Amino acid sequence: MLERALDAVRELGARLDLPDAEPEILKDGANLLVKLGSVVAKVATTTALVRPGVAAWLERDVTLARFAGARGVPVVRPCDEPPPGPHHQDGFAATFWRYTPHEQGRRPESARTGELLGVLHEALAGYRGALPEDGPAREIDDVLSLLDATDLPAELLGALRDRAPDTVAAAATATADWPVQALHGDAHPGNLLITPDGPVWIDFEDAWRGPIAWDLAVLTRASPHEGVDALAAYPGSPSPQDLAPFVRLRELHALCWHLVLARRFPDRRAPARTAADAYLAGTG
């Protein structure tokens, strides 16, 4: 898939009259990020295995980044030229973004992350465009339907499928206690780049309309210890205990993506199996 995606980027660059530059791979995971001169192509690769019509996710990414950026939220901006897309080439969907120099692998301080999520939520509360309303619940169902015995032993896969409805239902019940609005959808610290001008948000493709507790659960699940400081800095300082149903939903959602990524990257199969065992044992 990687070589085909790179060929598609080259063809797309030529079609859009981009400067002739050899693609530089920045990241290959859920999506492929490729630097072409001063722009970055984001190509749906692994995500396309799970998301039919994946261009709709990429379009939400562009739309929400523009909306938030126009309201003063620090974000990586989509390109103006070439048009951001989504573009289609040789079976792949891609968008274009301004290349933003940043410190690879560095995360913002926990309290700053909580503050920035509050700023982002304040801006996104005004978004009235169409968004999915079933977010991670739908995607968990889609992934568990996709997986088979080549991904996990039948008894483990069956156990995940048996547990999922109760996990989804518990979060749905708890939603009544939280404001519902447009969300980032994947608001973990890794989606904040540290640039010379400060942290900036990326990756809005998982945006959906739901309880703010989901974004907070994603943030705290990424690093439980640091998450305490992030929550304390978020407006209203929500309690970690109140997030419990959403953290459990995030654990299942994250596990599903571990398993999907393991389909493309064989070296991830053993860690994905370990994660599944830990989740079912209640230690994940």
Per-residue pLDDT at 283: 60
Average pLDDT over residues 234-256: 94
Q: Give the pair of three-digit tokens for residue 221.
A: 């699940």
How many degrees, rounded to 5, is the angle at CA 235 between CA 232 and CA 237? Answer: 35
Closest listed residue to residue 114, CA positions, set 208, 25, 218, 12? 218
Please report which confidence band the pLDDT of residue 217 belongs to, taking 50, 70 and 90 as the band edges. very high
Closest listed residue to residue 23, CA positions, set 99, 122, 103? 99
What does the pLDDT look like over 9-64, one tens digit per residue? 999 999 999 988 789 999 999 999 999 989 999 999 999 999 999 999 999 999 99
Q: What is the C-alpha R_g of the chain?
A: 19
Alpha-carbon distance 267 to 278, whole Å? 18
CATH numbers and ranges of domains, the chain: 2-98 (3.30.200.20), 110-281 (3.90.1200.10)
Please report which confidence band the pLDDT of residue 106 belongs to, taking 50, 70 and 90 as the band edges. confident
Alpha-carbon distance 53 to 57, whole Å? 8
How many degrees, rounded to 5, is the angle at CA 16 between CA 14 and CA 18? Answer: 65
Torsion of CA 51, 35, 201, 228, to 10 degrees: 80
3-class DSSP state of 144:
helix
Q: Which helix (H) or strand (E) holds 222?
A: helix 212-222
CA distance from start to end of the chain? 30
Question: Does residue 226 surpass a pLDDT of 90?
Answer: no
Question: Does residue 160 surpass a pLDDT of 70?
Answer: yes
What does the pLDDT look like over 63-74, one tens digit per residue? 999 999 999 999
Phi-psi label, residue 90: left if phi above 0, alpha if psi -120 to 50, beta otherwise? left
**Total number of residues shown for the chain:** 284
3-class DSSP state of 209:
strand
Alpha-carbon distance 161 to 148, whole Å? 11
Per-residue pLDDT at 173: 96
Question: Does residue 129 surpass a pLDDT of 90?
Answer: yes
The strand pair at 87-89 and 192-195 is best described as unpaired
Per-residue pLDDT at 90: 96
Question: Does residue 262 surpass a pLDDT of 80?
Answer: yes
Average pLDDT over residues 170-195: 96
Alpha-carbon distance 39 to 42, whole Å? 10
